Amino acid sequence: MTATEITDPAVADAIVQAVRAWIDTDVIGKADDFEHADDFPQVMFDQMCAFGLFGATIAPEYGGLGLDATTYARIIEELSRGWMSLAGIVNTHKIAATMITRYGTDDQRASLLPRMVDGSFRAAFSLSEPDAGSDTRSMRCKAVRDGDEWIVNGTKMWVTNGVRASLVMLLAKTADDEVTCFLVEKEPGNTSGGITASKKIDKLGYRGLETVEMSYVDHRVPHSSILGGDDGIGHGLRYALSALELGRINIAARAVGVAQAALDDALAYAKERETFGKPIAHHQAISFKLAEMATKVHAARLVTYDAARKYDAGERIDLDAGMAKLFASEAAFEVAMDAVRIHGGNGFTTEYRVERYLRDTPLMIIGEGTNEIQKMVIARKLLAESG
């Protein structure tokens, strides 16, 4: 697939349709087995690799598909409609690829990006710590230079794909409390050197992929592992926050997918379940709820795609991505809750998928910067623009 082909809307649509068909056939109805057991869906992962999703946004010159953000958001929506955890398997990888593409040296791009396109060399993103979530300046993980190496010590939290990853985008404090990003390579499925997966984090939702606490004890990395080379020292936080703006579009797209799944299941159930001699969809209380749910899903999709299109046009998206993430995630939670209410007592059982949607939606409210942080960012931007 050439760079010219991937800009063709028909080609982009064909890719999205292929993913959608796979979700309908092989994911919906099968994901619950993996989700409830909290097992990694290897067969689904293999199919994602076959689709080329791990190289979706990597440029064709490195072997990737080079898809734009709008098409990628549509793919993430479809994955999340089937099972939101599938989007998580690829998201941290994409954040890493974005950071390397934007800020890596020529050698780093040439060395890492071709290995990242087929899923065999996966990446994790590591910023948060036990005492440093939204307050990123409070991180304690430190890297001290020792000749041509850096010695890393500290603990990181919420590392999705941390164990299976071959590359960790590690944010650590260097001299003068500046934050630098290190490209830490390790053996997948295991830890190495001074790296240990010190704790597996059990979660309310977002199951089937590992989220771990990772500890670094005198772990040595070469000086060449600094993202951006010498020019990258002290700029890691700026690099990460820039990539997380695009990550918020990803979170918004996930929310749209989960909300759509909740709406689909609620509609189907409301047409089948009968009370007082007719399907509950024909009772005004339920029909009004369905109308509100559909409106929220549609609005969330529009604001998400709008942010993605602005990103593709090269516009600044801190405001738009924040709004998309805020609105879509809150809408997804509300729609999932309404789907549970429409299912009544059945919605409280694991026999129906709506309970999973409700458990998954809080992640979008918290992840990639809590919604409270998004409101601060949005308000700050609005005040600045108003003079």
Is there a catalytic annotation at residue 368?
yes
Instruction: List, in order, residues 6 or more apart from 382 with CB less than 8 Å away.
Output: 319
- Angle at which helix 236-272 crosses helix 284-312, to 10 degrees, equals 150
Determine the Cα–Cα distance for residues 59 and 120; give it in Å rounded to an integer: 17
Catalytic option among 35, 185, 368, 372: 368
Rounded CA gap, 200 and 364, in Å? 20
Q: Are 143 and 184 in contact (CB under 8 A)?
A: no
Cβ atoms of 361 and 338 within 8 Å: the answer is no
Round to whole Å and give the CA distance between 81 and 84.
7
Q: What is the DSSP string of 347-358?
A: GGSTTSTHHHHH
Exposed / middle / buried, residue 48 (Cβ in 10 Å: 0-12, 13-18, 19+): buried
For the residues of 54-84, what is the DSSP string, one character each? GGTTS-GGGTS----HHHHHHHHHHHHHH-H
Q: Kindly state the tokens that stand for 342.
A: 């429409």
Other Cβ atoms less than 10 A from the Cβ of 242: the count is 16
The helix (H) or strand (E) run that includes residue 381 is: helix 371-385
- As given in the structure block, the two tokens for residue 330 are 């809150």
For the annotated catalytic residues, the residue numbers are: 368
